[in-house]
Amino acid sequence: MGQFIARRLLQSIVVIFGVTLLTFMTLHLAGDPTYLYVSERASEEEIIAARKALGFDRPLPVQYLSFVGGMLQGDLGNSLRARKPALDLVLERLPATLELTLFALVLSTTLSIPIGIFAAMRRGSPADGGIMILAMFGQSMPGFWLGIMLILTVGLGLRILPISGHVAVLQPMLDGDFGKAIGNIPEAIRHLILPGLTISVFSLSRNARLVRSSMLEVLSQDYITTARSKGLGERKVIMRHAFRNALLPLVTLLGLEFGFLLSGVVVTETVFSWPGVGRLVFNAITQRDIPLVQAAVVMFSFLFIFLNLLVDLIYAQLDPRIRLS
């Protein structure tokens, strides 16, 4: 097990190196980044002075080492628009994004598992066919279109749920104010339903199909036939024998799913005016605020790498064949 963890940690370090290198190079893809930091009316002398002050006159390897050194100290530069540390701006918006992402993950997981099992148990029936058709539609719909349709029908047409706004739950919890966090949950859920559903529809559809295919594969195994021949009830066969083994592919996907949902919040947060990192990144891209985009990319990448490593360790515990190989 120790060798398995060491190997995964080494792979994570290599990935982090690649992420930081690509993130650093984005600042130089469009040419000299000095012009992002100076006024359009700046003279040549002012541009040269700014280039030297910012360190852009040094060789790229030296600049990269300086970038990594600053990152290790929590310094990813200042936002060009807000004139504040970029990492601080990202961390301010991160709780709202995590709330939306966790809600979407819980929604897609809790619904996809029973739907997938139900479809597998009724393979070839009209119910199974209908679920698979809906799953295909769910994977085909663009998130921005679905969000707009939900706003027009549920929000503006039926006036059942709010179409924008955010009620904080995670931030008061991080601040130690659990009473306020618990009191905010009912109203926060109402604001989370539409954007959370928009993000989770694709994952819900894909996970339901995955659970169905995994269940069908497991149900065809000999040990399931043996369990049934011993007189065990169908419910015990499904939950104790089939579902436990069919869960392994889903565990792997769920870890990556969180990173996928994090990356998908950019469009959804913009559509629903959600004050998270996704909307912050969208505004930073339109304003060419490269340091702020870099900070968000580094933060998302590190979260994704950490989750991927965590899933590998959990999978190794669930299936000893993985770590033994």
- What Å distances lie between residue 323 and 214, 246, 255, 314, CA to CA? 22, 19, 18, 11
CB 232 within 8 A of CB 192: no
pLDDT of residue 260: 72
CA dihedral sign, ordered 33, 34, 37, 38: negative
Name all domains of the chain by residue range, CATH numbers in brackets: 2-72 (no CATH), 93-324 (1.10.3720.10)
Q: Give the residue carrying structure tokens 């590998």.
A: 312
| Phi, psi for residue 204 in degrees, rounded to 5 | -60, -45
Enter the pTM of the model.
0.79
CB atoms within 10 A of CB 102: 16
| 3-class SS shares of the chain: helix, strand, coil, % to 5 | 80, 0, 20
**How far is residue 63's CA from residue 50's CA, in Å, rounded to a whole number?**
15
pLDDT of residue 114: 87
pLDDT of residue 255: 67
pLDDT of residue 315: 67
The residue type of 26 is T
Residue-by-residue pLDDT tens, the chain, 325 positions? 667 677 777 887 888 888 888 878 877 776 777 777 777 777 888 888 888 877 778 888 888 888 888 888 888 888 878 788 888 898 888 888 888 888 988 888 889 888 988 888 888 888 888 989 999 988 888 888 888 999 999 888 888 888 887 887 877 877 777 777 777 778 888 888 999 899 889 888 988 888 888 888 877 777 777 777 777 777 777 776 677 777 777 776 776 777 777 766 788 888 888 888 888 888 888 887 888 888 888 888 888 888 777 777 776 666 666 555 5
In three-state secondary structure terms, 91 is helix
Spatial CB neighbours of 104, under 8 Å, sequence gap ≥ 6: 196, 197, 199, 200, 203, 261
